[in-house]
Structure 1
């Protein structure tokens, strides 16, 4: 049995001898590489925190000393050391282990944290509660240098510094990266601190040289603080009233344990600066310049034949963004530390002056975009749908209130799957259709994605939002007809017209399942019409007149039903005096979705083609049962 299999919890780890730790670290890395490349997940970040996590669990007593991770994708090693080795093979599989901390899995997972820049606020609150309740223990927050670019981190540091006499240890896991290399002034600050290790080495060499002249050495050592403050900007933390220890080599097990032990002994708020290497111990990750294998895809199932090359939604967007930005110098893309995951890297490589990476700071990005728009530019803020939630106030008050031409492009909108509850982008339609003047487009395929991006960039009297899902583009879904909108409204695309028994109103990527549902209805002798409004909010005024000729109307979206496009459409129909007796609103129920595949989650929500067809037929049957002509031949 290997060392790792003998670890049932942190107490077992603390019982190991120091000479057993290096072999244990090697076992952990081998298991990470094997399982994560098989199941998919965050490999590089976890390879980089092996020794740090070992040290944390040997020095602190979790859960008495709560460990809060920012972000939670770096907790695979933590999971292994807290009794979850046997279940690790189920990582990110339906019903298996989450890729993030999970309160259901373990008492050691306190915060289900998968959005960045929140750990210090959690830690501040936990430390405050411990102080008021007279509880013992040290609160530990582990935060990456990338997450320190977020405004919440500095708001939290401000409050931690206001009451520093609490046992709270902030561990900066500094690998110079978030998804990509960390950018901004903070990155320069931490780079200088990393360089200060050379100063420490220099001082050590001088000490050895002057060992026979203690008076000279003491004089030099007495000047240490002034010299070090001159060479490095570590005073940033000390001037806040926080003790600072480091920087320390985050892969030197003994050194990390030593500095964490010192930090714990202070009994007050301390910043510990650890230098780590993302992807450590796995040559392909170490040599990957862009993101050090931040996240890897699951390996194909055995025997699976490679399919035809496909283009992702992200790539299609990135290519069109580059094309339109090449034509329009006023188009500026903003990204929150995610140029490649959002497709912005294509523009960044070709026209870097038209890309701004703000770090993990979505709130700042939205308001900075507002300023750019005021200055005559048309900014395009590119972000995962779930992350724009963090900037809701800025979208409402800084962009929307001023009716500014800012385009928000939401990747991974709707049901995304195996990253779990926090990464399903199901809130955007409900949340942002409430912004006065916001126009929302939901492309159904690559052609409409390209067209609607350009349409959004031509709108200059208010904000626009373009949303699309994760994954590969499906086949093109051309319109068989087009209903022109009155009063300047965009046209409505008709995708299927086989009859007027059922009207299916598809939102974005749900057009494909709706077209297939129409085919299934035809097999049952039921005629249907499938339409794509293209611009889904505000509700197209032409839908009311169109729906007037149908008894059964079904709206289909992969966002929340509550407050979504379907509910808005139902309200618009009622206000227009159209009350189809068979109206159904299909979407995601108001709850957090567990990690699974997108296909499985869509089925769970009743959003597959067969389920859409079945619910339409149920409405027809119910209508027939209520008809006064029932039984009349």
Structure 2
């Protein structure tokens, strides 16, 4: 590892108030030192790098110009906020990023007063900033709402819903459009920077107001609107932004987001402007200032630990294929024999394996951007037309499209196939990205088939089964990361819908496992057998429909039934418990215990430690069985170590 960089000026700036004591000319040094500190930090922790590198100057300028935390600075998604954390009193802990007990990789309200709004999903910043701005306006409190939103996040409808409502905030709302990927305006140069500075200045804004008032008093009423439109379109010919003007914003830009001599004066003008709301179009470069990141295709969006000098990332030892790649490989095989199969993703092609499908079938692959609601209804439309859409979406992101899953898919019983990646706990990304709720929110819907793969072979069978299931919507959930090492079958099985399988026979205790806790269930069975408690383990495969025949058989032949799943309360265990109650299977003294994630939002940590904390490991299963057997009366205890 290299020696930590020297940061003499940054060392004197524990808080933004200290930053604001500096002269303009000092900000370049602050930015350079901040970038060096960011690179060194992420080289030791891993995490998001490219986006943070791209907003170093913007972060410095925003905290220098605006009175944070009184002015509420909200970073959309929040993965680019590492420089913000360094400047806002968290530098001493910055090397604990994404570790158990350490700083979150996103903004988090409980972490700092400089994080006024927690964010880890896209396109929420404008709505939140608008809420802060209007609340301050109503109460007469000082402070603006400042949203920093990337151009990619502008592909989500929520951003435009907020902008359409933004006039209620007046000049209390400032939106910074961080254009770091797709250019939506002419190239940045001296002229555009000069125009941005002029158009954001108080004299120009005042002149515009004078012209507007003059037109209202002098021109006939029927000419007011044409005059206003002429003024707006004349200005936006030079600056772009007519779309934002139509939404009620005063548009400034584009400006170079790495040139502090341009950026700071414009932000100062915006801060002091009476006109509003205002959108400032800032063009930045993802990965800026670190050659390996600038050269990388993904600009080092998310990285493992790496060598600062060479940029070489520490590669984990080769292991079994990841679940997302197993999914992609089988989907490609299915598509080779069925030209009705298409793949849909919402801005996560590489994260879901859809990028591999796209290489094989570019015309049958659709990345709709950060628009999960649209993705689901788009898939429903294709299904209604006879196609077989596989919508590959992270569990946590599919939550955003639940209304569409209900109304556009389930009620119409359309055969949309949901490939739910990142199911269960996800480690370093924490509560915001955990796939805790999908079984609960999907298995409650009529017509829905919900599967959970226990290993790579099972995932292969399930993708094959979904490709041939046309009777209604279906879903398969699987976790982040590598598989278990199970052999992937050359010829997958066509699973019978709603049928599980026994993987180990016993007589006293039955463990009903859904998903990848199966390995822990088998370890627990070894322990229980050694204690004289003969144990059956079933891989249930389906959360809906449940294998009622198998459950009845096990309920009538065992003393204790344990259900275990990687999901929240109300999921698989709740369905088992409800059915057993309805069928009177508990009347004879059968004990049932449901094991699931605790009713809390778990913080980021190593996944194995997270599951151990939740009690969803072999030790937790054994403890739950022993606890159940200590009770002579029929009882139901939620949670693991009850």
**TM-score by shorter chain over 0.5:** yes
- Asked if the contact 2:134/2:172 (under 8 Å) is kept, the reply is no
Range with bigger deviation, 580-589 or 111-120: 580-589
User: 1: distance between equivalents of 2:449 and 2:576?
Assistant: 15
Match of 1:353?
Answer: 363
Q: Alpha-carbon deviation of 1:68? A: 1.0
User: Per-residue displacement from partner, 1:129-158 (whole Å, max 9, x unpaired)?
Assistant: 111111122211100111111111010010
The structure-2 alpha-carbon separation of the partners of 1:305 and 1:378, relative to structure 1 and needing over 3 Å to count, comes to closer
Q: Alpha-carbon deviation of 1:199? A: 6.6
Is the partner of 2:170 in helix, strand or coil? coil
User: 2: distance between equivalents of 1:24 and 1:30?
Assistant: 10
Is the partner of 1:381 in helix, strand or coil? strand
Q: Alpha-carbon deviation of 1:493? A: 1.4
Q: Could you tell me which runs of 5 or more consecutive residues in structure 2 were left unpaired when the two chains were aligned.
A: 1-6, 197-229, 308-313, 636-642
Is the partner of 1:94 in helix, strand or coil? coil
Match of 2:178?
Answer: 173
1:471 corresponds, among 472, 481, 493, to: 481
Is the partner of 1:508 in helix, strand or coil? coil
User: Per-residue displacement from partner, 1:536-559 (whole Å, max 9, x unpaired)?
Assistant: 212222222332111100000110
Match of 2:185?
Answer: 193
Q: Alpha-carbon deviation of 1:477? A: 8.6
- Asked if the contact 2:76/2:122 (under 8 Å) is kept, the reply is yes
Q: Alpha-carbon deviation of 1:625? A: 12
- Asked if the contact 2:188/2:283 (under 8 Å) is kept, the reply is no
Q: Alpha-carbon deviation of 1:610? A: 1.7
User: Per-residue displacement from partner, 1:512-531 (whole Å, max 9, x unpaired)?
Assistant: 11111111112212211100
User: Per-residue displacement from partner, 1:105-143 (whole Å, max 9, x unpaired)?
Assistant: 211111111111111111111111111111122211100
2:609 corresponds, among 570, 591, 600, to: 600
Q: Alpha-carbon deviation of 1:202? A: 11
Is the partner of 2:244 in helix, strand or coil? helix
Match of 1:537?
Answer: 544
Q: Alpha-carbon deviation of 1:492? A: 1.9
Is the partner of 2:366 in helix, strand or coil? strand
1:276 corresponds, among 284, 294, 311, to: 284
The structure-2 alpha-carbon separation of the partners of 1:328 and 1:89, relative to structure 1 and needing over 3 Å to count, comes to same
The structure-2 alpha-carbon separation of the partners of 1:17 and 1:321, relative to structure 1 and needing over 3 Å to count, comes to same
Is the partner of 1:166 in helix, strand or coil? helix
- Asked if the contact 1:413/1:425 (under 8 Å) is kept, the reply is yes
Q: Alpha-carbon deviation of 1:405? A: 0.5
2:296 corresponds, among 284, 288, 292, to: 288
Match of 2:82?
Answer: 76
2:169 is equivalent to residue 159 of structure 1: no
Structure 1 length normalisation: TM-score?
Answer: 0.87
2:567 is equivalent to residue 556 of structure 1: no
User: 2: distance between equivalents of 1:564 and 1:202?
Assistant: 58
The aligned runs of 1:257-272 (5 Å cut-off) are 257-267=264-274, 268-272=276-280
Is the partner of 1:578 in helix, strand or coil? coil
- Asked if the contact 1:445/1:477 (under 8 Å) is kept, the reply is no
The structure-2 alpha-carbon separation of the partners of 1:233 and 1:246, relative to structure 1 and needing over 3 Å to count, comes to closer
User: Per-residue displacement from partner, 1:161-216 (whole Å, max 9, x unpaired)?
Assistant: 4x36232100001111xxxxxxxxxx5xxx34143758748999xxxxxxxxxxxx
User: 2: distance between equivalents of 1:248 and 1:232?
Assistant: 10
Q: Alpha-carbon deviation of 1:623? A: 4.3
Q: Alpha-carbon deviation of 1:253? A: 1.2
1:247 corresponds, among 244, 254, 257, to: 254
The aligned runs of 1:39-438 (5 Å cut-off) are 39-161=45-167, 163=168, 165-176=170-181, 191-195=183-187, 197=189, 200=192, 229-230=236-237, 233-267=240-274, 268-289=276-297, 291-298=298-305, 307-438=317-448
The structure-2 alpha-carbon separation of the partners of 1:201 and 1:92, relative to structure 1 and needing over 3 Å to count, comes to closer
- Asked if the contact 1:4/1:85 (under 8 Å) is kept, the reply is no
Match of 1:21?
Answer: 27
2:499 is equivalent to residue 491 of structure 1: yes
Match of 1:614?
Answer: 623
- Asked if the contact 1:98/1:595 (under 8 Å) is kept, the reply is yes
Match of 1:576?
Answer: 583
User: 1: distance between equivalents of 2:253 and 2:316?
Assistant: 48
- Asked if the contact 2:520/2:617 (under 8 Å) is kept, the reply is yes
Q: How many residues align?
A: 582
User: 2: distance between equivalents of 1:18 and 1:229?
Assistant: 30
- Asked if the contact 1:581/1:623 (under 8 Å) is kept, the reply is no
- Asked if the contact 2:439/2:543 (under 8 Å) is kept, the reply is no
Match of 1:182?
Answer: none
Q: Alpha-carbon deviation of 1:590? A: 1.4
2:522 is equivalent to residue 522 of structure 1: no
- Asked if the contact 1:478/1:495 (under 8 Å) is kept, the reply is no
- Asked if the contact 1:117/1:147 (under 8 Å) is kept, the reply is yes
2:451 is equivalent to residue 441 of structure 1: yes
- Asked if the contact 2:239/2:252 (under 8 Å) is kept, the reply is no
The structure-2 alpha-carbon separation of the partners of 1:525 and 1:308, relative to structure 1 and needing over 3 Å to count, comes to farther
Structure 2 length normalisation: TM-score?
Answer: 0.86
Is the partner of 2:538 in helix, strand or coil? strand
Is the partner of 2:350 in helix, strand or coil? coil
The structure-2 alpha-carbon separation of the partners of 1:99 and 1:565, relative to structure 1 and needing over 3 Å to count, comes to same
User: 2: distance between equivalents of 1:477 and 1:554?
Assistant: 28
User: 2: distance between equivalents of 1:504 and 1:325?
Assistant: 36
